[in-house]
Structure 1
Amino acid sequence: MSLAEEARRTLTDWSAPDPVQDDLRRAYLDHLERHPDGMWRRCASGHLTGSALVVDPAGERVLLTLHRKLGMWLQMGGHCEEGDRDLAGVALREAEEESGIAGLRLLEGGPVRLDRHDTPCAWHLDVQYAALAPAGATPTISEESRDLRWFGYPEVASVADASVVALVEATRELLDRRGASPTAG
């Protein structure tokens, strides 16, 4: 199965949490129908990307990167590459590369949310996941970052934009539904 076919399957199977997210889900599917190259950076009309919010093992903090080019605190993420098999793998690869943390584990259940945003290269149709860091994880700044820092949930709104705040809130809700521990269920 191609990456585009897998993306269509992921988006078709995903249960959006609200009508706004469902509209985005349908827009992503429409984009893939209209743009055979819609998974790739070369698609100037926009392309799907994968990202992951890294959560500490206790479920109390999130790791954000101060993006080198954009100068914003963001979750880890980026473009699909040849050889990627699925969007979850894109998100996990990007999170490990940008955080320097090996052994991240995506939360089960597929994407947490979707976010479409304009960037210097094109529109990003971001498929956002959440990943748990292993115990004792120590982040390492990559060439794509100016800084990496753990933030308590209440701190995120003071440093990040509404998209990151929404991802943090959706991730917290997901963790809360699973019980007190982020590793539960």
Structure 2
Amino acid sequence: MNVRPVASESLYDDAVRVLSSWQAPDEEQDRLRVEFLRHLTEHPADGMWRECADGHITASTAVLDASRTRVLLTLHAKVKAWLQLGGHCEPGDLTLAGAALREATEESGIAGLRLLPGPAKLDRHAVRCHPQGTWHLDVQYVAIAPDGARHAVSDESDDLGWFPVDDLPEPTDDAVRDLVARAVSVSG
């Protein structure tokens, strides 16, 4: 098992701090919050990293345009579905919010994204980071793009596009629809 350098402990500490203080909007989100914290307690050395086969914390972002009427989604190259921007934490990340913003900026090509404070929601979903499968324990944020922002497709995407928040493309899933609805409500 690869364990990251000690310097990454600040990201772990930030994740514990964020999840401990976050006010979940409902019972299901609070159950996930407690599950994510239990995961970090059980995996203090590797729970933030993709190497953890039991699951790992990820950070993603619903990027809204300046008018908050459109969301930027990626047609994920591996999943082949329209998703929010985001992914794995990396050794240089010091905070979950920083990881979410880094991923959103890298995957969108948009400079100057403004991340709203605190997570919007949490999501636990199965992925194939390991042959036997594993879980992403996704801490999801909202960012607002600058007025007139132009995006660029990254290597991780087959496509990238702006969509009305009330008319998302297919294929997508309920988790993305829920995140976009939450993003609109917290950004309003």
Normalised to the residue count of structure 1, the TM-score between the two structures is 0.92
How does 1:142-181 map onto structure 2 within 5 Å? 142-156=154-168, 158-176=170-188
Select which of 23, 27, 36 maps to 2:35.
Answer: 27
Q: Give 1:157 shift.
A: 6.4
User: What SS does the aligned partner of 1:15 have?
Assistant: coil
Which of 108, 111, 121 is matched with 1:113 structurally?
121
Contact 2:125 2:135 in 1 (8 A): yes
CA contact (8 A) 2:49 2:57 kept: yes
Separation of aligned partners in 1, 2:54 and 2:78: 21
Q: Is the 8 A contact 2:163 2:169 kept in 1?
A: no
Identity over aligned pairs, percent: 56
Cα distance in 1, alignment partners of residues 168 and 102 from structure 2: 23
1:57 and 1:159 map into 2 onto residues whose CA distance is 25
Structure 2 CA distance for partners of 1:157 and 1:71, relative to 1, 3 Å? closer
* Equivalent residue number for residue 6 of structure 2: none
Paired amino acid for 2:28: V
Q: For residues 128-149 of structure 1, give each alpha carbon's deviation from its aligned partner in whole angstroms, at most 9, with x where no partner exists.
A: 0000001111000000000001
CA distance in 2, matches of 1:16, 1:172: 16
RMSD: 1.0
Kindly report structure 1 stretches of 4+ aligned residues shifted beyond 4 Å: none
Q: Quick one: which of 143, 146, 152 aligns to 1:134?
A: 146
Other-structure match for 2:3? none
The amino acid of 1:130's aligned partner reads V
The CA deviation at 1:158 is: 4.5
Task: Say if 2:82 and 2:170, in contact at 8 Å, map to a contact too.
Answer: no
Which segments of 5 or more consecutive residues in structure 1 lack a partner in the other structure? 177-185
Matching residue within 83, 97, 106 for 1:97:
106
* Structure 2 residue matching 1:117: 3-state secondary structure: strand
Q: Deviations over 1:1-55 (max 9, x none)?
A: 6111110000001000000000000000000000121000100000000000100
Matched, 1:59 2:71: no
| SS of corresponding position for 1:156 | coil
CA contact (8 A) 1:140 1:148 kept: yes
- Consecutive unaligned residues in structure 2, runs of 5 or more: 1-8
TM-fit CA distance, 1:175: 2.4
Contact preservation (8 Å) 1:157, 1:165: no
- Amino acid corresponding to residue 128 of structure 2 in structure 1: P
Q: How many pairs were matched up? A: 175
1:124 pairs with one of 136, 146, 160: 136
Please say if residues 81 and 170 of structure 2, whose CA atoms lie closer than 8 Å, have aligned partners that are also in contact.
no
